Each structure stands twice: as C-alpha cells, then as structure tokens.
Structure 1
Amino acid sequence: MDFLTILKAIILGIVEGLTEFAPVSSTGHMIIVDDMWLQSEQFLTKYAANTFKIVIQLGSILAVVILFRNRFIELLGLRFGKNKAEVVPAERKSKLKLTHVIVGLLPAGVFGLLFDDYIDEYLFSIRTVLFGLVIGAVFMIIADRLRPSKPKVESVDQITYRQALSVGLIQCLSLWPGFSRSGSTISGGVLLGMSHRAAADFTFIMAVPIMAGASLLSLAKNWEYFTLDSLPFFIAGFISAFVFAVISIRFFLKLINKIKLVPFAIYRIVLAAVIYIVYF
C-alpha cells in the first residue's frame, strides 16, 4: 500500500475526528470526502468502505472514553484501588447516575430499532442530508435565541431525570442523517435550561454507549472485509480519528460556553450550500 493511500486514510480520520462530536454533522462532511476519495480505492468494496467508516468512528468514541474516563468510572460505581490492580466499589461522588444516561438513551434507541431499515433505505441520500443540515442549523439558532437568560443547570450533575428524558426525545431528531446528534441534544438541553457546557457533557457521555454498541454490531457483521491489503488503511484512519477527536473535543468544550451555537449553525448552512453546488 503506497503513501498516498495511507494519507487518504489519515485525512478521512481527521474529518471524522473533528466533526463527530461537534454540532456540524459528520455525515455531511463524510459525504464530500467519501465520493472524492474513499470510493476511489480499488481494494475497498462498498462494504469494506462502510467498515472503514465504522472503524474510524470507533477511534472517535475511544477519545470520549479517555477524556471522560473518570466520569465513566464514577457512573459505574467503580474506582481503581491504590495498591491493587483490581476494580473495587467506591462511593459515588457524582450526582449524575447511570440511570440518567439510560433514560436519555431509551427514546433514540427504541426509535432507531423500529425505523433502522427505513432510515438506511430512504434517508441516506445527499438531498436528505442537506435538509438535515439546514433544519438542524435553524433549530440550533432557535435554541440560542430562546434559551433562558440564566441557565438553571450549570453542571451535568444537576440534570434531572425529566431533563434527561426530554433530551433523549429530542435526540431522536438526529436519526435523520445530517441533523447531528450533538446539534440536536445540545440545542435541546439549552432550551431546557442547561448551560451549553452541561448539555455538551451530557451529549458526549450519552454518545459512547449508543455509538459503541451500533459500531461494534456493524463491525461484527462486516468482519470478513478486514484484509491484509486494507488493514494499514483501517489502522491509519483509526489513529488519526482518535487523535483529532481528542483535540476537537477539548477545544469544543472550552469554546462552547463562549461562542454558543449560532457560529456552528452558520457553518452548517455554508456546508449545505457547498454540497449543493458540488452535487447539483
């Protein structure tokens, strides 16, 4: 495998890492680079190309697990002992509980299972993604304009079960490709009185189990497409997605309370315009 091919994998991983958890729709970005580069690789069949996307998504998920590792350990009620390697029970300091996360995940999980085939067959097109990008951007602008002047929830630890469920219901909008999971849940959280940072933290924590579960299931179904020829391509994409997801998440969490959602919404509209010009 030549250097140019590996470079393509790295750039695709960068796109995934930078956009997966920002409210800009990684799907919209992958549409552009997919047709430009991914489909041009002769050793990647259609299914192997889809497997590659799953692999780099797992790199982004690992970044969240690493950055939020202490939070996930608290949610599971575990800690690592000082003098022992094994995991031992610990008192839960965080008010955010695993049950909050489960409540937030249920609506999208149920709707995803019920309509998965329909979404795959009818909603994964350039036109539907463009619609999701624009409508999602409008929703983000509305959320910033109608949000309470002073957030009632400054920290993710203050989220109630009712708010967790409400955010989960709003997350169902992200089942429409292009709408963006982060865009929908952060906007929903802000409308419900959360600070942008609290809504973002909850979004990232919820994303791990649902994305990891879906990705691992897809990976198991497509395991045969891992070949010696494509393995370096997969590894390069995974590593670059992980590294740039870490950078993106850290930068985003420092920035979100300052700039809010409108700049990301404007970017989405510009992206939709670019995709429209390129394809139509």
Structure 2
Amino acid sequence: MGLFDLIKAIILGFIEGMTEFAPVSSTGHLIIVDDMWLKTNILLGDTAAITFKIVIQLGSILAVFLVFWKRLFSLLGLSKYASSHLNLLHVVIGLLPATILGLTFKDFIDKLFKIETVIVALIIGAVLMMFADKFGPKKPKIVSLDQITYKQAFMVGLMQCLSLWPGFSRSGATISGGVLLGMNHRVAADFTFIMAVPIMIGASSVSIIKSWDYLSFDYLGFYTAGFISSFAFSLISIRFFLKLISQIKLTPFAIYRIILAIVLACFYVI
C-alpha cells in the first residue's frame, strides 16, 4: 500500500468520524464521496472494501464508548453512577420502534437508498430541526439524563423511526424529538449517542456475519489507518458537538443540510 492509499483511508475515516454523529446525515456525505468509494473498491476489491467499511464503523463505536463508558457500564450494572435513574430499559424502549419498523419494512427501506430520496430527507430533516429550535421549550424541564421517563424514551424512539429514511439523520431526528419533549439540547444529544452504541454494534455485527467468508486482512495498513482516523475524528466530533450543541443548537446544522441538498441536486439530479 502506497502513501496515497493511506491518505485515502484517513480521508474516508475522517468522513465517517465527522458525520456519523452530527445531525447532517452521514449517508448524504458518503454519496458525495461515492467516487472515492468506487476507487477504493477497485483498489482493494469488493470484499476488502466491505471489511474496510466495517473497520471504520468500529472506530466510531470505540469513540462513543470512550466518551460514555461510565454511563454504559452503569446501564449494564457493571459500575455505579451517582444518582443514576437512566437504565437499560430506557435504551431498549427507545430502540424498539425503529428496530421493529426497520425489520418489518427492510425491503422497502433498501429501495430508498438513492440520491433523490436522500435530498428530500435532508431538507425535511432540516425543517424538523429548525422547528424543534423554534417551538421547543425556552426553559427545558429535563436537564439531566436521569430525568428521562420511559414514555419520553419511547417517544424519542418513535422519532428515531424517521432516520430509517436515508439522509434524514438519526441524531437529527432524535435530538429534535428530545427537544420537543422538553429536554435541553445536551441531554437529547447524550441520550442519542448512548442509544447509538447498541445500534452500531448490531449493524456492524450483522455486516461481519454476512461478510465473514469474504473478510480479507491483506491490506492491514489500509484498515489500520482507516480505523485510527475514524476513531480519532469521531472522538473529536462527539466532544466538540456535545459542547457546541448547547450554544448554537440545531439550526446551523439545518442550514448546512439545506446547502448540502442543493449541492447534491446540482451535481446528481439537475
């Protein structure tokens, strides 16, 4: 593997890390770099490219775990967390709606993975985010994860169903839902990221099982560079976003989504 190939792996890890958790749609961004993915497939072969995509997602999972390890251990009963009320059942309830809907309509959802539907989702998701900022409580009553009720966890889970529409953004849908339910932006973001861990682990596990016979480690340097890049930039993205979200809220991200939708429309549709 040459230097250019390692740089390519770092760039792809950067895209995964910086867009996976921000409410801007990682799907939309991966479409923008689709040509790069295709070149990667040509370089590595389809099976190695599948391995690479799994590897960089594992880097993102590790970053979330590092940021929220105390909460995650507490949910599993492996450590004590002061005044902890949020428990594993909150997370399970939050995951149920999208899990059931996703499994039930999987074939239909797979058909939505095209540029036109992503563009529409980017715009509608942006409108929802601006709506949440505009009409969410000015003084949120839920300022801690431990104040989230089972009903609110379920309602956030219902909002997460919108993310089954490619381009909508899971974090955009769930944070907006949390804000409209009375959470402050930081609490809504924290709950979103905690729910992301089992979702991403499940998705990666399914991918590994399906691709087990085709996994290739002939390009270990390429995989390692992608993993480290994804982990590092995911860590930066999560920490930066959690500090930023309380200050600027969702509207700036919504504006960016609209601009992204226009760019995609210009290059891929018009």
Structure 2 length-normalised TM: 0.95
- Alignment RMSD (CA, Å): 1.5
d(CA) in 1 for partners of 2:107, 2:59: 25
The alpha carbon displacement at 1:225 in A equals 3.4
Deviation readout 1:225-252 (Å, 9 max, x if unpaired): 3324433222211110110000010000
- Flag structure 1 segments of 5+ consecutive residues without an equivalent: 80-89
* CA displacement at 1:155 relative to structure 2: 1.0
Amino acid at match of 1:73: F
Shift of the 278–47 alpha-carbon distance from structure 1 to 2, 3 Å rule, reads farther
Deviations 1:14-59 (A, max 9, x none): 0110110010011111111122x12013233445434422321221
The aligned residue for residue 9 of structure 1 is 9
Distance 1:56 1:8 in 2: 13
Which aligned pairs between 1:73-88 and structure 2 lie closer than 5 A?
73-79=73-79
The answer to whether 1:254 aligns with 2:243 is yes
1:236 to 218, 225, 229: 225
CA distance in 1, matches of 2:45, 2:116: 24
Matches within 5 A, 1:129-148: 129-148=118-137
Contact 2:70 2:81 in 1 (8 A): no
How do 1:162-241 residues align onto structure 2 when only pairs under 5 Å count? Answer: 162-241=151-230
CA–CA distance in structure 1, aligned partners of residues 212 and 52 of structure 2: 11
Unaligned runs of 5+ in 2: none
Deviations 1:178-214 (CA, angstroms, capped at 9, x unpaired): 0000000000000011000000000000010011111
Aligned residue pairs, count: 268
1:124 aligns to 2:113 (yes or no): yes
Query: Paired residue for 2:55?
Result: 55
One-letter code aligned to 1:266? I
Q: Is the 8 A contact 1:17 1:243 kept in 2?
A: yes
Aligned letter for 1:201? D
* Structure 1 residues 133 and 213: CA distance shift in structure 2, 3 A: same
SS at match of 1:43: helix
Name the CA shift for 1:208/1:228 in 2 (closer, same or farther; >3 Å): closer
Q: 2 CA distance for matches of 1:77 and 1:147?
A: 33
TM-aligned CA deviation for residue 128 of structure 1: 1.0
Q: Report the AA paired with residue 209 of structure 2.
A: A
The equivalent of 2:140 in structure 1 is: 151
Paired letter, 2:261: A
**After alignment, is 43-52 or 124-133 more displaced?**
43-52
**Matches of 1:53 and 1:117, distance apart in 2:** 22
Kindly report structure 1 stretches of 4+ aligned residues shifted beyond 6 Å.
none
Percent of aligned pairs with the same amino acid: 64
Residue 87 of structure 1 corresponds to: none
Q: TM-score, normalised by structure 1?
A: 0.91
Q: Which amino acid aligns with 1:271?
A: L
CA distance in structure 1 between the partners assigned to 2:54 and 2:164 by the alignment: 17
